[in-house]
Amino acid sequence: MMVSLVKEQKGNEFIQEMEKTYKSLEEAEKLLKRTPRNMILYVDIENWKYYKKHPDETIKRTTSIVTKKLTLGELEIELLNTIKRDKPKSIRELAKIVNKDISSVQPKVKNLEQEGLIELKEGNKNSKIPYLNYDEITLAI
């Protein structure tokens, strides 16, 4: 199964993301000299240069994941929608919103994270904040 994750962002947001990843455009270019076959890095650098000149332009970035073990049932779809819509501050809060026991939600959230559909960020008191960083998810079977 192929999963396409689509995220819309402005050029300046793309640049901030690249700065987190590579520190600076110059550092990215140095890295490319050491790894000239790194096509992802090459494309990132070309896009970085373009969006430095066009920071307000909207970008539609797509990331694709190929997986054999992804299972998306009704609960997983509901969790993804709830994470995007309600932005819960913890997995416990997410379980409460969907009216499910934490013991049934926790493993589903972990699987969604392992498949790259969501991120878990550090929260208060050892909690994890589920975060969906995409505007659209498309499945190709």
pLDDT, residue 65, reads 85
pLDDT beyond 90 at 15: yes
Residue 1 lies in a domain: no
CATH code of the domain covering residue 84: 1.10.10.10
Query: What average pLDDT does range 112-118 have in this prediction?
Result: 91
Distance CA 91, CA 88 (A): 7
- Report the pLDDT averaged over residues 117-131: 93
The confidence score (pLDDT) of residue 1 equals: 83
- Quick one: which of 9, 83, 7 has its CA closest to 51? 9
User: Is the pLDDT reported for residue 34 higher than 90?
Assistant: yes
One domain, residues 50 and 13: yes
Cβ-proximal residues to 50 (8 Å cutoff; 6+ apart), any chain: 11
52 and 90: one domain? no
Instruction: Say if 69 falls within a structural domain.
Output: no
> What pLDDT is stored for residue 43 in this prediction?
94
The confidence score (pLDDT) of residue 71 equals 83
Domain closes at, from 19, 37, 60: 60
* Number of structural domains found in the chain: 2
| Span 57-92, pLDDT tens digits | 999 989 888 888 778 899 999 999 999 999 999 999
Q: Which domain holds residue 23?
A: 8-60
Whether 116 and 86 map to the same domain: the answer is: yes
Instruction: Name which of 64, 95, 101, 73 is nearest 82 in CA terms.
Output: 95
